[in-house]
Amino acid sequence: MASTSAARGTVQVTVLGGGDAFCSGANLNATYLVESARSTFLVDCGPSVLYALKKQAVDTARIDFIVVSHLHGDHFGGIPFLLLEYMYERPRTRPLVVLGPPGIEDRVRSVFRLLYRDVAARPLPFAVEFRELVPEQPTTIADVTVLPIRVPHQDEDTSLALKLDVGGTGILYSGDTPWMDRFFELARGVDLFLCESTGYDNSMGKHIAFTELQPRLRRLECGRVVLIHLGREMRERGASLGVECAREGMVIRL
Ligand SMILES: [Zn+2]
Ligand SMILES: [Zn+2]
């Protein structure tokens, strides 16, 4: 894998949860903390987000915004708990921006109402600004540009892979998706590719199987590949895979 010329030493990615929907191998649901000179944000926000943040001693108040890849519960189900945190435990006044696929606002508000009907009936003491991501249209927030790419993981909802430019550092996040050859092009030159590999020799529905990813790894022209969203069999094989696998608390400096 080739090295890249992007700016170094300014971006840090912490794996708060690198697991699949089943918390296989006791790994928390998908939640990644990205910190740059100007931004602190989450990529996906699994239901275990508060536990994950507090376990890594991250002050929840530091989160500027959240980018959601798709509307499956293991990727956005933590947002209602974060809203609750900001109402009571760590009172927030500044706006929270949530970027995600079409329908994100309705889905988050619906889940919040279902989980906390009494609380959700009252106005939040801070603004939540939802921004819908449109595939192929880059969106910029602070020093981060998000390029959403539609992936064939869901039929009725829109699932996205996310290519992030974080102040000059490139991160490609596959989200949940089957393999697409377009990842070769998208990964070219990025510093980090967080690539899902849910199954070992079975794509577990609309996901990537490691046996189809493995022969393609050497063709990826990016700085570093870390496998994410690992299912039970992948966790059991662990170190024998010979590839970096996301684990809780893992810090990736770029
Ligand atoms: Zn998932
Ligand atoms: Zn999913």
Give the Cα separation of 171 and 164 in Å (integer).
5
Specify the pLDDT at position 239: 86
For residue 74 the two structure tokens come to: 């293991």
Ligand nearest to the backbone CA of 30: 1
Task: Please report the pLDDT score of residue 7 as a whole number.
Answer: 45
pLDDT of residue 9: 54
State the Cα–Cα distance between residues 149 and 135, nearest whole angstrom.
Answer: 5
pLDDT, residue 4, reads: 41
Kindly give the confidence (pLDDT) of every residue in the chain, 254 residues in length, as a single tens digit, with 9 standing for 90 and above.
443 434 455 899 999 999 999 999 999 999 999 999 999 999 999 999 999 999 999 999 999 999 999 999 999 999 999 999 999 999 999 999 999 999 999 999 999 999 999 999 999 999 999 999 999 999 999 999 999 999 999 999 999 999 999 999 999 999 999 999 999 999 999 999 999 999 999 999 999 999 999 999 999 999 999 999 999 999 999 889 999 999 999 999 99
Tokens for 211, please give them.
């046996």
Nearest ligand, CA 44 = 1
- Could you identify the residue written with the tokens 């619906």? 110
What is the reported pTM?
Answer: 0.95
Q: Please say whether the dihedral angle defined by the alpha carbons of residues 43, 183, 133 and 230, taken in this order, is positive or negative.
A: negative
Residue 173 pairs in a beta bridge with 162, 194
Q: How far is the CA of 22 from the centre of ligand 1 (A)?
A: 9
Q: What is the pLDDT of residue 158?
A: 98
Task: Give residue 101 CA to ligand 1 midpoint distance, Å.
Answer: 15
Q: How far is the CA of 74 from the centre of ligand 1 (A)?
A: 5
Grouping H, G, I as helix, E, B as strand and the rest as coil, residue 27 is: coil
- Structural contact between residues 98 and 63, judged by C-beta atoms closer than 8 angstroms: no
CA distance 154 to 116: 27
Q: How far apart are the first and last CA of the chain?
A: 15
Distance 197 CA to ligand 2 centre (A): 12
Ligand nearest to the CA of 20: 1
C-alpha distances out from residue 130 to 66, 108, 127, Å: 10, 10, 10
For residue 204, how far is its CA from the centre of ligand 1 (angstroms)?
Answer: 11
Q: How far apart are CA 145 and CA 74, in angstroms?
A: 24
For residue 2, what pLDDT is reported? 40
| Farthest-apart Cα atoms in the chain, separation | 53
Centre a 10 Å sphere on the Cβ of residue 167 and count the other Cβ atoms it contains.
Answer: 16
Do residues 128 and 84 make contact, with C-beta atoms less than 8 angstroms apart? no
* Nearest ligand, measured from the Cα of 70: 2
